[in-house]
A and B are shown apart, each in its own frame.
Chain A
């Protein structure tokens, strides 16, 4: 295998594994803020148990997220040296800003969140929770800034064949930054929410820790519905932005082979057997049923992304997301009718829905990154010209095998610990604390 292919596989493996964890911790941290606020406002000890239990889950996943995140920070330099030289003038700044404004905040206050129970007041502890959540959101923002610049470069001028920064804010708020940031953030909130509802459903089904489970479930299901509605809103906005700024990617997502007026919306991803809804795509992009939408035929084949992978991952994201929307809508309805905690078939479904948001996050990113190919920086640098030429294929193979082994181990151990923690439950944890 060539060094280029190995480097691409390694990047895909390391980034996809990494991205199992940050959405969960970003989402959980927002929910932790809600729980910490309730703990502060109401003197009910159930909120102590709640916060401790979910902080515990947060900590395990945060550790793996940090450990695998370090790899990403250095992998640009080790495996993509020509890319790093090419984009350094612009791409490095958000990474550094992420360190200065987000990682420091998040990790410093995480120490207080995890170890400060008996050392600081409830109010200070609440503030630490808030700062961890805020830091993790800022971190998402800056990394999305960096990635969005690869998708829709802006705020630069070409000097000696390389983009130089011309406007910092122009680069930061490039056309895709805001819709993508909010879409990604909502995806993270959904992940945190469905993990909370899934685990709470497990306790309700087992009839254990009922008070804890009911309160957590109520917070989780409402939060899930809000986050999914937000995700659909910003996702729609983002898709329209892609249609305007990256038309070939949009055409691949929708598998629109021919440029046409009144373009149909395909129900399933190409190459699955499809049903097209007439003129709907034109309406969704331009709010006009007869508008012309650019198809794949408008571009030379060498500039097109792989269509099947882009279209299928996009449609998988949309349909699985709709499933979660219906589940959370129904869940909130049941909560309102005071039937949620007794509907056993629905609780069981919530338990089995836990993996879904993780899958949705991954396929969403596959759409974004595969859909950008063959470019590493849209219309400026091709992926094949960006790989380190000084690193031999054998060394990449060695590091790839190392990552596969270590990450499999981490995944197994993290799952084992989370399972063990769930079986022990929040009350047992309290008993351990008082021992």
Chain B
């Protein structure tokens, strides 16, 4: 039983790690059309160049871990969200190859093409991850056998679309915070403005979505009524939301990035604390929901996977930190880069 709780948390950690790290890659991609001139566009790409691929692995590992720990959730949600998943894949394919292909040919038309696909490839996942989260929060049609009974258009309900816009602004804010660390001068000032604008929109959308959730996903609030400890999550989120503009106005960019990252962490924690043990709540009948207890793999699999994670993740964190340390400081557009 404890292992089920641990794996609920670990899946949350992997999703949060992905959202914080690839969040800034996606945000940089969404902001990319605002870059002026080829040099600035290359600066954007080289800012994330050495690290975006490693960041995306958090998603792959999260997918693999969900498959291993909670197979029915992986199967039901991914097949239920079929077309949305295909669009996410399209986005991730386009983004990966755009980064690699763009700088290889010295032609304005060639570069414009891959700039466009880079933007689309960042925009689509940034929105769709939010839409998927919104749908999971309000519950998806799952019948007594655990099968998805909805369609694609049902996923595009207003509440979830607003959640999509929320994730878009959150990732944009994260991307702007990252850019302001890794750039200087005029670009850095503009990145700070983008960050503050994204923050304002995020605040409005967050407040709206929080109140809307009282109506659309009331079950998410139950634990907050029962437990005082649960309030740690929203307190982190609110403190982070307040800290973002303060740090940004004082030009403390490292702190700004920490604050935007804490916004992502806090938001995910608020949802996870509210939703536990639900992984895919059923809108048909909450009793049909897929939970950390009724949809898990066998105890042995959870145990083995936990040991693998205990061995592997510290190594991953160590060398990832090393790579970030090597590439610290301002971006230089070098010939070997993008």
Contacts and interface: CB of A to CB of B under 8 A. Distances in A.
Contacts of A64: 97, 100
Contact of B337 (A68, A108, A115): A115
A99 B53 CA distance: 12
How extensive is the interface on chain A, given as a class?
35 or more
Interface in B72-101: 72, 74-83, 85-86, 89-90, 92-94, 96-97, 99-101
A406 B326 contact: no
A76 interface: yes
A101 B327 CA distance: 22
Contact of A406 (B51, B93, B304): B93
A413 B104 CA distance: 11
Interface in B258-303: 297-298, 300-301
Interface string A157-185: 00100001110100000000000000000
Interface stretch (B32-40, B56-64, B129-137, B192-200): B56-64
A388 B86 CA distance: 15
A2 interface: no
Given A104-B54, A107-B54, A391-B79, A435 B69 contact: no
Nearest to B300: A165
A156 to B, nearest CB: 10
Contacts of B337: 115
Contact of A402 (B90, B97, B309): B90
Contacts of B336: 52, 114-115, 117, 433
Contacts of B53: 66, 107, 110-111
Nearest to B313: A100
B93 A114 contact: no
Contact of B305 (A68, A96, A116, A164): A96
Nearest to A82: B75
B205 interface: no
Contacts, number: 232
Contacts of B64: 73, 92, 95-99
B335 A433 contact: yes
Nearest to B298: A164
A41 interface: no
B239 interface: no
A81 B76 CA distance: 7
A130 to B, nearest CB: 13
Interface in A406-423: 406, 410, 413, 417, 420-421
Contact of A88 (B74, B327, B335): B74
A59 B102 CA distance: 13
Contact of B316 (A71, A78, A104): A104
Nearest to B74: A77
Contacts of B68: 88, 91-93, 95-96
B9 interface: no
A118 interface: yes
How extensive is the interface on chain B, given as a class?
35 or more
A70 B60 contact: yes
B326 A112 contact: yes
A162 to B, nearest CB: 9
B204 interface: no
B221 interface: no
A89 interface: yes
Interface string B24-62: 000000000000000000000010011101101101110
A399 interface: yes
B169 to A, nearest CB: 25
B156 to A, nearest CB: 15
Interface stretch (B145-153, B207-215, B229-237, B249-257): B145-153
Contacts of B148: 390
Given A101-B312, A103-B61, A166-B300, A432 B79 contact: no
Contact of B96 (A66, A76, A417): A66
Contacts of A168: 300, 304
Contact of A410 (B85, B97, B305): B97
Contacts of A417: 101, 104-105
A391 B97 contact: no
Contacts of A96: 61, 64-65, 67-68, 305, 308
Interface in A172-220: none
Nearest to B62: A99
Which of A89, A105, A110, A421 is most buried by chain B, counting CB atoms within 10 A of its CB? A89
Interface string A60-71: 100110111111
Contacts of B301: 89-90, 92-93, 164-165
A316 B143 CA distance: 48
B147 A389 contact: yes
B334 A118 contact: yes
A356 B56 CA distance: 32
A88 B90 contact: no
A112 B323 contact: yes
Contacts of A100: 61, 308-309, 312-313, 316
A345 interface: no
Ranked nearest first, the 7 interchain pairs of A and B with the lowest CB-CB distance are A88-B71, A92-B68, A77-B78, A99-B61, A111-B50, A92-B67, A63-B100
Given A73-B60, A74-B89, A395-B82, 13 more contacts: A66-B53, A74-B78, A78-B78, A84-B71, A84-B75, A89-B297, A96-B308, A99-B64, A109-B323, A112-B326, A165-B297, A399-B83, A406-B93
Interface of B: 46, 49-51, 53-54, 56-57, 59-61, 63-72, 74-83, 85-86, 89-90, 92-94, 96-97, 99-101, 104-105, 147-149, 152, 297-298, 300-301, 304-305, 308-309, 312-313, 316, 319-320, 323, 326-327, 334-337
10 contacts: A67-B93, A70-B93, A74-B85, A77-B74, A93-B308, A105-B319, A111-B51, A111-B53, A116-B326, A388-B82
